[in-house]
Chains A and B, each alone.
Chain A
Amino acid sequence: MSELLRVENVKVHYPIRSGFFNRVTDYVYAADGVSFSIEAGKTYGLIGESGSGKSTIGKAIVGLEPITSGHIYFQGVDMTDAKNRAHVNYNKDVQMIFQDSMSSLNPRKTVFDIIAEPLRNFSGLKEDGLAQEVRHLLDIVGLPAETMYQFPFQFSGGQRQRIGIARAVATKPKLIVADEPVSALDLSVQAQVLNYMKRIQKDYGIAFLFISHDLGVVRHMTENLAIMHAGRLVEIGSRDDIFNHAQHLYTKRLLAAIPEIDVPNRAKNRAHRKAIEQEFQDQKSAYYDADGRAFPLVAVSETHQVALPESMLEGEGF
């Protein structure tokens, strides 16, 4: 498969200003040297705890977040510069689904205007064609065509998120960044929305970057995963690599934190979680450098990369 998008050593730092002259005294390292690549038509999961910088990476990819340093290549062309992005209609090919479906839809616009917005800008369709296309898109996400002239607040959360999906799919993009698209939804509605996304992904061959803190959701949606912690990637691998052969301490801890409904073994599970947490606290210094940053990623198999220190690589015989 061809490489669609490559993120190369991307850093996003926010200055912290303080003191009498409001000088920059320090930085928040929201993303600190992140590199990965996305192939056409495949699904990727980006997982991390709150504040780990996963949303920042997603926004940087679609061009909503200025990058401090590093590069994002789309089909071999550097898209870090906003001029380049505008020149090739980058956002026709890379779209985003937002977390909060209420605030991502303009309350003063009808569903038709919302979905037609990217089409108006990128496709050059006239009004008749637009109406037909919007009807088709609504059909894809399972909403009746009559809803076209209603306003966002007249829909439930799940329906609104499906409108958001329809808008993202409208220009037939090659990559969709989904920033926690179901975390604001009811559990019963989550599955429904996820299945729509999965079907669209398969039918149109769109690459998906699925940002989430919910490992269960990501496991359902994606075949490749990347784990992020404190602005750096700690482990990249296939579903099997991560869930069954996790190498990094943080990944293990994250996996242990998945809630299980397993009443007979409750005490055992809790003890296991406690043990992992203890291990994390004890060995933290070995897995992170002096500044608390994760080490650079090292390939341990063809699909699997882990941020392990050199000493540990020798020790485990890689």
Chain B
Amino acid sequence: MEQAKKTAPTLRNALRREFQQDQVAQFAIILLLLLTVAIFVGALFVPKTAYTDVNIMNQYLPPMTDGHIFGTDNGGKDIFSLLVVAARNSLTIAFFVTVLILALGTIGGLVTGYFGGVFDLVFMRFIDFMTILPVMMIIIVLVTVIPHYNMWSLIIIMTLLGWFNTVRLIRARTLVEVNRDYVRASKTSGTSNLKIIFREIFPNLSSLIIVEATLMFAGNIGLETSLSFLGFGLPANTPSLGTLINYATDPETMTGKPWVWIPAAVMILLYTVLIMMIGQALRRVADQRQSLG
């Protein structure tokens, strides 16, 4: 019994073990946390004028001149301040989109997988239809036609067009769980369907959802920055990592003034790679057969 207690495969223990075994993931999670805290705290100290006011006299200053660590852009705006605020905006959008998609996708997948029947059939055909739509194009169209467009509209649009694959994933696992006897035992114990779905089945999907969340977070950073890069992401007065990289579309800036766009590119690369490293460890938590420990 004591032996069993020590190696209890609870989620917390599995997480701790996988990160202890994997130095890379350990390093990644520490760096990611430090970076994120630095961005969000740092952004509080950046005045709004730093990324809205244009100062032509300071145009394209190279790095380390006049106190501009990364130099300035074509409007004389400090790249470092822009980078911090842009990273905060991009991360905030990716975070909210991920949370909302997971909420919608998990509820949808659990309910349709649990009840099955005609509802499942119709709902999944609807999901099939939605997954084949070219999401990027629809987002671009919606962004251009929506009045009073701001960060929140972008979050809602990205969420509503992005939750279909999560439904499919969660539904697949729910179908497995529903056929296990503990669900039947709960039914004979008189527990209501909703309670069975959210108190019995949902906790058993938690590891899957955590893995899905990390990978989706990286994906959503990518989606938002590519939209902003194309000019359909955040509104013009709100910096995003994508708008910073967009400077590189000008051949002159691309080759001659790399300090304008390289920091943002490195930031995206860093975030995606770090999240993937953590995702590796989390995937082993979700599927213990791949465990290192």
Residues of chain A having any CB pair with chain B under 8 Å: 59, 62-64, 89, 91-92, 94-96, 98-100, 103-109, 117-118, 121-122, 150-151, 153-154, 164, 167
CA gap between A89 and B188 in the complex, in Å: 10
Q: Is B186 an interface residue (CB 8 A)?
A: yes
Candidates A63, A92, A104, A151; contact of B182 at CB < 8 Å = A104
Q: Is B185 an interface residue (CB 8 A)?
A: yes
Verify A104–B185 contact, CB threshold 8 A: yes
| Chain B residue, CB-CB nearest to A59 | B184
**A117/B4 contact (C-beta < 8 A), A103-B182, A107-B204 known:** no
| Those of B189-206 within 8 Å (CB) of chain A | 189-191, 200, 203-204, 206
Distance (whole angstroms) from the CB of B15 to the closest CB of chain A: 15
**A154/B5 contact (C-beta < 8 A), A98-B184, A106-B200 known:** yes
Residues of chain B having any CB pair with chain A under 8 Å: 1, 4-5, 8-10, 180-182, 184-191, 200, 203-204, 206
Q: Which residues of B contact A100 (CB under 8 A)?
A: 181
CA gap between A89 and B5 in the complex, in Å: 37
Distance (whole angstroms) from the CB of B178 to the closest CB of chain A: 12
Verify A154–B181 contact, CB threshold 8 A: no
**A64/B187 contact (C-beta < 8 A), A153-B4, A153-B8 known:** yes
Candidates B9, B182, B206; contact of A106 at CB < 8 Å = B182
Q: Which residues of A contact B182 (CB under 8 A)?
A: 103-107
Distance (whole angstroms) from the CB of B245 to the closest CB of chain A: 43
CA gap between A118 and B186 in the complex, in Å: 8
| Chain A residue, CB-CB nearest to B190 | A121
Distance (whole angstroms) from the CB of B106 to the closest CB of chain A: 16
Candidates A64, A121, A122, A154; contact of B184 at CB < 8 Å = A64
Candidates A62, A117, A150, A164; contact of B186 at CB < 8 Å = A117
Q: Which residues of B contact A91 (CB under 8 A)?
A: 187-190
CA gap between A64 and B183 in the complex, in Å: 10
CA gap between A150 and B180 in the complex, in Å: 21
CA gap between A64 and B190 in the complex, in Å: 11
Candidates B180, B191, B206; contact of A103 at CB < 8 Å = B180
